[in-house]
Structure 1
Amino acid sequence: MTETDIWRLNATDLTALTRNREISAEEAVKASIDRMQQVNPALNAVVEDLSSQALDRARNLDKAVGDGEQPGPLHGVPVTIKINVDQKGHATSNGVVALKDVIAPDDAPVVSNLQKAGAIVIGRTNTPEFSFRADTDNDLHGRTHNPWGRHISPGGSSGGAGAAVMAGIGALAHGNDIGGSLRFPAAANGAVTVKPGLGRVPAWNPSQSAERGILAQSMSVQGLITRSAADLHLSMPSLIAPDPRDPFHVPMPWRGEDQTGPIKVAFTKQTFGYDLHPEVDKALDTARDALIEAGYVVEEVAPPDNFEAGRGGYRALMGEVLTLLKADIEAAGSKTIRDIFEVYFQEFPPIVGTDLIKMLAKRSHYAREWSLFMQNYPLVLSPFLPQPFFKPDRDTEGAEGVHEVLGCAVYSYAMNFIGLPAACVPARLAELPHGPQPINIQIAARRWREDMAVDAAAAIEDRVGQMCLPLWKKMGTSF
């Protein structure tokens, strides 16, 4: 196998070779580094190149295995880490110029867990300022581009992660998600992800000087963006390993109990007044048919009020942002991000004071309604966005732009507010006027059952195929 082939391997296929010593960790890492050097100048997905230390670590892992040490489950897998999470000795800039010298004193739990499993960090990926846009651009590192073309945003806030993994820069990409920041980049780039539920993945940044707000704590989760659903089953058990620095982490196994009988899926095309684009409609039908073929029982039925929970939850988050973060945004943010936040506050009028306390209380009501519904329907298949993914900087175009980018994304942030897991997987490659573009859908799952959402994503992927293959063919003509 040549290095030209190695970078194309998914993490699952790669570890089958590295763990059996058919290829070395050094070979695996070098192939991804070569790919990064080839395509990243045009993408700007990786904004800190860690090639040298990655190769050193790969050689050390190879030596350890040669000396008889058991290889980890992710032995030799090249990964990227988002720049808003601590990696010892590197800046946790969060895309903000004023934070470019905030050097992490230690690794965050996700970095530690990935490295303990044998993964090797080859670079750190871009994020928008304060990781609070569904697009990725900032004054510190500049714009990240979507490998499908510059007419499509790469998504955000884990836009660098999504663009990197789909372009072949590493087999796994770390990201996080407070309102869709894993799923937006997955949808933009045709990748696969699962937003874990609350308490599933340990999280904490050793560099932080104060604890985050309660909604930031309860809505934000850490995860991975991959090219295949199988890679989530491979890697997530390592990511969810306990870490005492997160006192609210729940140490549960990745796989839950097997379900008796066919799994029922609630299928909805509700868009709450937003237009459902024909290509999204076709993607939903394809996903439904794939699940039926795989033995699921799919019934068209509306879940509990997603719009009310989603909008209420995001307005509450904006209330917390207004109280705890707005001063920092005003002091350290660019004019672009300051202007965007002003429109955020119009689109999602912040809930503050007594009303915020009431909305925090009502969160349990929404979560309970979903919990009861999911006793009968453990999975919910829905749109992720009602339209194909938007163009770069759409959220800078005033109220209309923010409304298209975030206003319609209630299926996204509702899951953050009530703490349920949700997978995002491509179900169609649409031929649009500007060219081919992936269309992702969402699969929400019962609490603690990320594995069921990923199983369903795998069933859809079996029918549709992995989007990296047509992407790489397209990239061959333009990169």
Structure 2
Amino acid sequence: MGKPDPSTALWQRSATELAAAIRTREVSSEELVRSCLNRIAETNPRLNALVDVRPEEALAAARRADAQVAAGGELGPLHGIPVSIKINTDQEGYATSNGVAALAGRTATADAACVTALREAGAVPLGRSNSPGFSFRWFSTNELYGRTLNPWDADRTPGGSSGGSASSLAAGMTPLAQGNDIGGSIRFPAACCGVVGVRPTVGRVSDYGPPAFADTPDGPVELDFPPTVHNCAVQGPLARNVADARLALHAMSVPDLRMPQGVPAFPAAARPADQIAVTVVRGNADVKNDAAVDRALDAAAARLADAGYAVEEVDQLSLLTEAARLWALLITEDIRLILPVVQQLGDEAIRTALGGHFGYAAEVWGERPSLETYINGWARRATLITRLQELLGRQRLLLTPACAELPFEQDADQAGPDRNRELFSAMWPMTAVPILGFPAVTLPVALDGGLPVGVQLVGGRFEEDLVLDAAQVIEDRTPAIRVWDREA
């Protein structure tokens, strides 16, 4: 990237540009943090995307970063760059509340591994990003902090559960954001808000956090996470462009063998575009795409073809349809284990949303799937992983919708069984991928009716750079989609 345009406000510039400018002392981290704080003061009162901002703490960290630059020491790739951290992720000295009022005093005594990786790369944490209660909805509202708005349209969801991350990015509050994803929680908010979301391969970015304990009559007992958390959940970055997302992903990719799925190393970089095939998967039998979604897919496919990718199309890929159905089995049965806690501590919205979730899963798998069904589901998942990896290898990508609909109306999951069924059907691209653990990126390709419309790219396991290369090709051929351009 070239030298930042001095006429552009610091909060508007990319993380890649700013990291280079801080390194050469053209810009200080303190100046950047102050610019972001001013933007937060301007936009966050309306959007409610960041819920715990401590200006003096962030400015002190920025001054320490500037002192390191002045001393000539070794600098990390994100040195001095502000990043938001989600309220369900441990950050020392902050409440890991998950948007639950009963957990508002649950202050973390140490950082989660992904936060440690960001700090070690030089990033400056600036604000906690909002989520739904228990991070279980595709909407970002909770009883503790309230509702986060989509900066493009307040009546549409900013996505969930990393809705605060995506909304704050789109509005320009920070250049980077951390999120996590087990059912679209990075990728869907990114698509709703017109930014880039990266879901890494399970095992690439550490999901390790300090142990959690529950009080019992016999004393504290360490809590264990269910299988889907270990096999499907990931931590990852959101950014305003592909280059920044790549920069943050590489910074967060620190091998950590404390993770059950952790790996010690990652594959080499990707191949040239003319060696890569792209299969466009337009939908599945359960749902019809909004016309704007089909237009976005067509545009993305054309941009990839223009760059030399071999593009082909199929109406459906039964493997992905089956994976989305498995998500409704495996995730739901794992949630069942903690349902009493959610019902006791959660707000009315999460209880209603979970009722819809269980209702949808019951339509597919029955009211109470047997242990045999659950075990066979895990067995089938392993087979689907093998089949998808055989299809993709290291030379093929999938291009799918981010969602069959435009960003949902706020609280659509509170509208009853029929609307819930539509939501789950529309979200098949978001649910199919995590149950298999593959990497995926969502990015915006168009504005339609004033709303950003995104697509999803999926690659073989640990082929994040291959996916990001294709995303970069699409972005390079797409006019900038920035909410502040619209405001101007």
Q: Does 1:197 align with 2:201?
A: yes
Q: Match for 2:341: what amino acid? A: D
| Residue 234 of structure 2: aligned partner | 221
User: Among residues 441, 450, 455, which one is paired with 1:423 in the alignment?
Assistant: 441
Query: Paired residue for 1:99?
Result: 103
Q: What is the alpha-carbon distance in structure 2 between the residues aligned to residue 37 and residue 331 of structure 1?
A: 35
How far apart are the structure 1 equivalents of 2:465 and 2:391? 19
Aligned pairs for 1:236-315 (under 5 A) are: 236-253=249-266, 255-258=268-271, 261-301=274-314, 302-315=316-329
Paired with 1:40 and 1:277, the residues of 2 have a C-alpha distance of 31
Instruction: Tell me the equivalent position of 1:42.
Output: 46
For the residue of structure 2 that corresponds to 1:7, the secondary structure is helix
Aligned partner of residue 452 in structure 2, secondary structure: strand
- The aligned residue for residue 335 of structure 1 is 348
For 1:117, give the aligned amino acid: A
Amino acid in structure 2 at the alignment position of 1:427 = V
Mapping of residues 15-34 of structure 1, within 5 Å: 15-34=19-38
Q: Name the structure 1 match of 2:162.
A: 158
Range 439-448 or range 398-407, more displaced: 398-407
Which secondary structure state, in structure 1, belongs to the residue aligned with residue 324 of structure 2? helix
Would you say the 8 A contact 1:265–1:297 is kept in 2? yes
Superposed counterparts of 1:356-375, under 5 Å? 356-375=374-393
Is 1:467 matched up with 2:481?
Answer: yes
Structure 1 residue 443 displacement after superposition: 0.7
Identity between Structure 1 and Structure 2 (%): 36
Counterparts in 2 of 1:29 and 1:352: CA distance versus 1, 3 Å: farther
2:145 corresponds in structure 1 to 141
How many aligned residue pairs are there? 469
Residue type at the aligned position of 1:58: A
How far apart are residue 306 of structure 1 and its match?
1.2
Partner of residue 384 from structure 1, selected from 399, 402, 408: 402
SS in 2 for 1:160: helix
Cα distance between partner residues in 2 of 1:58 and 1:244: 31
Q: CA deviation at 1:38?
A: 0.9
State the Cα distance separating 1:329 from its structure 2 match: 0.8
Shift of 1:453: 1.1
Letter in 2 for 1:356: Y
SS in 2 for 1:47: coil
AA in 1 matched with 2:437: G
List runs of 5+ in structure 2 lacking aligned partners: 214-222, 363-367
Contact preservation (8 Å) 2:274, 2:310: no
Determine helix, strand or coil for the equivalent of 1:371: helix
**2-structure distance, mates of 1:4, 1:297:** 38
Preserved CA contact (<8 Å) 1:86 1:92: yes
Which letter maps to 2:54?
L
What is the one-letter code of the residue matched to 1:313? W
Q: Distance in 2 between matches of 1:257 and 1:229?
A: 15
For 2:96 and 2:441, the matched residues in 1 are separated by 27
Q: CA deviation at 1:255?
A: 4.5
How do 1:40-79 residues align onto structure 2 when only pairs under 5 Å count? 40-79=44-83
The residue that corresponds to 2:413 in the other structure is 395
Aligned to 1:9: 13
TM-score (norm 1): 0.94
Amino acid at match of 2:149: H
Q: Which amino acid aligns with 2:435?
A: F
User: CA offsets, 1:436-458, max 9 Å, x none?
Assistant: 00111111101110111111111
RMSD, aligned α-carbons: 1.7
User: 2 CA distance for matches of 1:452 and 1:88?
Assistant: 34
Q: Which residue of 1 aligns with 2:124?
A: 120
* 1:109 counterpart = 2:113: yes
Which of 85, 88, 109 aligns to 1:81? It is 85
Aligned-partner residue type, residue 300 of structure 1: E
Question: For residues 134-166 of structure 1, what are the alpha-carbon distances to aligned partners after superposition, in whole Å with 9 as ceiling and x for unaligned?
Answer: 000000000000100212111100000000011
Select between 227-236 and 298-307 the one with higher mean Cα deviation.
298-307
Please list the CA deviations of residues 328-386 of structure 1 after superposition, one character each: whole Å capped at 9, or x if unmatched: 11110112211211111111126442211111111111111111111386200111211
Q: Which residue of 1 aligns with 2:216?
A: none
Q: Deviations over 1:218-239 (max 9, x none)?
A: 1110011111001122111110
Secondary structure in structure 1 of the residue aligned to 2:285:
coil
Contact 1:254–1:451 (8 Å) recurs in 2 = no
- Report the alpha carbon displacement of residue 428 of structure 1 after superposing the two structures with TM: 1.3
What is the alpha-carbon distance in structure 2 between the residues aligned to residue 4 and residue 384 of structure 1? 31
Q: 1:406 aligns with which of 424, 429, 433?
A: 424
Q: What letter corresponds to residue 458 of structure 1 in structure 2?
A: Q
Q: Which amino acid aligns with 1:273?
A: D
Stretch of structure 1 that moved more, 274-283 or 156-165: 274-283
Question: Greater shift after overlay, 279-288 or 312-321?
Answer: 312-321
TM-score normalised to structure 2 length? 0.93
Q: CA deviation at 1:466?
A: 2.9
Amino acid at match of 2:186: L
- Amino acid across the alignment from 1:472: W
Is the 2:257–2:263 Cα contact (8 Å) retained in structure 1? no
Unaligned runs of 5+ in 1: none
